[in-house]
Chains A and B, each alone.
Chain A
Amino acid sequence: MIPLGPLPAAVPPSWYLILSAILFALGVLGFLLRRNIITVFMSIELMLNAVNLSFVTFSYVLKRVDGHIFSFFVMVVAAAEAAVGLAIILTVFKNRQTLEIDEVSSLKN
């Protein structure tokens, strides 16, 4: 567990993982609480970043490069996602003049 008292010279990797868990939780929170589509989208990006952090940490622990590759792919996917998602948001705004996510509920029933 996290040692109390004087700080160690260097932190164990688990701290990084916990940090990424915190960030992920924050991302989920933002996703659940915010109503602005763009903010919700950014929360998703936050979650992705958290996952990236744990990837990189793992690749540090395992002393292998694969984790970096995966976070690289995550970035690529995020870029694509951002492009398409923002385009969708633009279209939604063009059609409905709103960014309130709850007003975009045509899936209801």
Chain B
Amino acid sequence: MDTILFLIFAAIAVICGINLVVQTHPISSALSLVGVMGALAALYLLLGGEFIAAAQLVVYAGAIMVLFVFVIMLLNAGTEKRLNVRPLGKYLGAPLLLVFFGMMAYLIQKVMPPSSPVVFGAFQGGTAAEIGKSLFTVYLLPFEVTSVLILIAILGAIVLARKEVD
């Protein structure tokens, strides 16, 4: 059962990811990204990270991507022109990428310690309570810092996007 679920959602994620890259219209890419995020949320659930799954839905799919879609619609961004891959990208990018991916896979297989397979419910540490506990004890300072970061981001966004009054 776990395997099937994993394969389904992994397939969704990969397909949507590929779609993100090949689609020429930003909004299609945005939606496929939303698909990836949904699939990832499900995978998080499988990995026992229920809070993170919910956060993924709320923050990423529910807020950030909506913002993307909003901006795309606002700018009414059309489809891209035919992408002419400059020789750099053609002869360097793709092969490098393949090398990169192959190497990662190899390293993962090599480095990962042989560990128990992922069974749903085997790890109960991802509950909201646990996250909250360590967020407000061990990681308190980073947490506060992120709040400041958010504040700064808000200010920056407002300053950048406001109408010049002059």
Interface size of B in residues (CB-CB distance below 8 Å): 82
The answer on a CB contact under 8 Å between B60 and A75 is: yes
Number of A-B contacts (CB under 8 A): 243
B154 → chain A closest CB, angstroms: 7
The answer on a CB contact under 8 Å between A16 and B97 is: no
Residues of A34-49 at the interface with B, using a CB-CB cut-off of 8 Å, are: 34-36, 38-39, 41-43, 45-46, 49
B66 → chain A closest CB, angstroms: 10
**B85 close to chain A: CB less than 8 A:** yes
Provided the pairs A69-B139, A73-B142 are in contact, do residues A82 and B21 lie with their beta carbons within 8 angstroms?
Answer: no
The answer on a CB contact under 8 Å between A22 and B14 is: yes
The answer on a CB contact under 8 Å between B125 and A72 is: no
* A82 CA to B36 CA, complexed, in Å: 17
In-complex Cβ contact of B3 among A10, A42, A45, A100 (8 A): A10
Chain B 1-41 interface mask (CB, 8 Å, partner A; 1/0) = 11110110010011001101100001001100100110010
Decide if the interface of chain A is mainly helix, strand, loop or mixed.
Answer: helix
The answer on a CB contact under 8 Å between B115 and A18 is: no
Residues of A12-41 at the interface with B, using a CB-CB cut-off of 8 Å, are: 12-19, 21-30, 32-36, 38-39, 41
Point out the residues of chain A lying under 8 angstroms from B3, CB to CB. Answer: 7-11
B61 → chain A closest CB, angstroms: 10
Provided the pairs A11-B118, A39-B29, A65-B134 are in contact, do residues A56 and B44 lie with their beta carbons within 8 angstroms?
Answer: yes
B109 → chain A closest CB, angstroms: 6
Given A38-B29, A59-B123, A91-B160: 12 more A-B contacts, CB < 8 Å? A12-B115, A26-B20, A29-B97, A68-B49, A68-B125, A72-B135, A73-B146, A79-B150, A82-B64, A86-B67, A86-B157, A99-B26
A sample of 15 inter-chain contacts (CB < 8 A) reads A7-B3, A21-B105, A30-B29, A42-B33, A49-B36, A63-B125, A69-B135, A69-B139, A79-B64, A83-B67, A83-B157, A87-B157, A88-B160, A91-B160, A91-B161
- A-side residues, CB < 8 A to B, are 1, 7-19, 21-30, 32-36, 38-39, 41-43, 45-46, 49, 52-53, 56-57, 59-61, 63-66, 68-69, 71-73, 75-84, 86-91, 93, 99-100
